[in-house]
Amino acid sequence: MATTDADASTDVDEAEPRDERREHLLSEFQRELGNAVVDSHIRAGSTLWIRVTRDAWKDAAIAAKEQLGFRFFDFLSAIDWLPSPFGRDMDSQEDVIASALENGDAGHGPDPEESASMTTGYAGGDTRFQLLARVYDTRNAQGVLFKADLPDDDLRAESWSSVYHGADWHERETWEMFGIVFENRSSLDHIYLPTLFEGHPLRKDFPLLARRVKPWPGIVDVEPMPGTDDEGDGEGEGDAE
């Protein structure tokens, strides 16, 4: 019933426990939304992911609330699937040590091969930005996670705020953090950041300046630091593209 690209084969092999309740729920969503359901994933006994097309983003919310009784709005956000263009030195310094220990070399700096490929998570995805939202049915104690791909050159989606009140603030947050524009709602104002703030901090290509200008203090404890000789100002070098 649920066809997940990567997991379909492994499901059979490992004979994972089936979750009939969530499979039933998925079939109900497929009935309501038809072809708009692109992909799905079920973790037995825990979570159901449904990826819908961008055009059906609002329809999914309406179907969930009006038809299937998901009246509780949980959260709305997004995921930026771009691998960090700043490579490993944006991560914790411990990361460098660990990979060095494993590979037997100083595995610091961005790995071109790794940063070139962009992988997406459950229920798949083809684009860099993916919307993520969860609604809940308090009567039957089950939730559903929605995802929707957004094309890179057109980061727009229909607003949920006329369906779920609570989506208003979450959309403002998603807009300022990822630069995703929601349409047919009241104006998108900053919610956390100052009005004149430039950039979208939760995008992967937005540098975390505190970490750029000062190395992680944790490295003081570690004596032989592999790769301290090149503190790497030229961060753009091994990037994708």
Partner 1 sequence: MTVVTDRDKLAYIAAQAADARVNVELESDGMTLNLGPQHPATHGTLRIVARLDGEQIISAEPICGYMHRGYEKLSEVRTYPQVTTLINRIDWLGSFANEVPFILAAEQLMEVEAPPRAQWIRTILFEMSRIANITLFLGDLGIQLGGLTAGFYAFRDREFVLNQIEAATGGRFHPNFDRIGGLKDDLPKGWIDETHRAMDRIRAFCDEIETLLITNEIYEARTRGIGVIPAEIAQSYGLSGANLRASGVDWDLRRDDCAPGLVYDQVDWKVWTHTDGDAFARSWVRMQETREATKIVDQLLDTIPSGPVMAKVPRIIKVPEGEAYVATENPLGEMGYYVVSKGDLVPFRVKIRSASFNNISVVPWVVRGVYVPDLITILASLYFILGDIDR
Q: Which residue ranges make up the site for partner 1 (CB under 8 A)?
A: 43, 46-47, 49, 62, 65-66, 71-75, 77, 79-80, 84, 90-92, 94-95, 98, 119, 121-122, 132, 134, 138, 141-143, 145, 161-166, 168-169, 177, 190-194, 201-202, 206, 208, 211, 216
CB 115 → partner 1: shortest distance, Å? 12
If the CB atoms of residues 29 and 174 are measured against partner 1, the closer one turns out to be: 174
Q: Please report, to the nearest 10 degrees, the dihedral formed by the alpha carbons of residues 165, 169, 170, 175 taken in order.
A: 130
CB 156 → partner 1: shortest distance, Å? 21
If the CB atoms of residues 30 and 120 are measured against partner 1, the closer one turns out to be: 120
CB 171 → partner 1: shortest distance, Å? 11
Residues paired with residue 80 on neighbouring β-strands, in sequence order: 129
**Is-contact 80 178, C-beta < 8 A?**
yes
If the CB atoms of residues 102 and 229 are measured against partner 1, the closer one turns out to be: 102
CB 168 → partner 1: shortest distance, Å? 7
CA distance 145 to 143: 7
**SS3 letters for 128-182?**
CEEEEEEEEECCCCEEEEEEEEECCCCCEEECCCCCCCCHHHHHHHHHHHHCCEE
Q: Residue 218 corresponds to which amino acid?
A: G
If the CB atoms of residues 193 and 240 are measured against partner 1, the closer one turns out to be: 193
The H-assigned helical ranges of the chain are 7-14, 20-33, 57-62, 93-103, 112-116, 167-178, 209-213
**Is-contact 168 180, C-beta < 8 A?**
no
CA distance 22 to 143: 9
If the CB atoms of residues 23 and 91 are measured against partner 1, the closer one turns out to be: 91
Closest CA to 129 of 147, 150, 146, 115: 150
If the CB atoms of residues 217 and 234 are measured against partner 1, the closer one turns out to be: 217
**Is-contact 147 50, C-beta < 8 A?**
yes
**Is-contact 57 131, C-beta < 8 A?**
yes
CB 31 → partner 1: shortest distance, Å? 19
CB 169 → partner 1: shortest distance, Å? 4
CB 81 → partner 1: shortest distance, Å? 8
If the CB atoms of residues 29 and 73 are measured against partner 1, the closer one turns out to be: 73
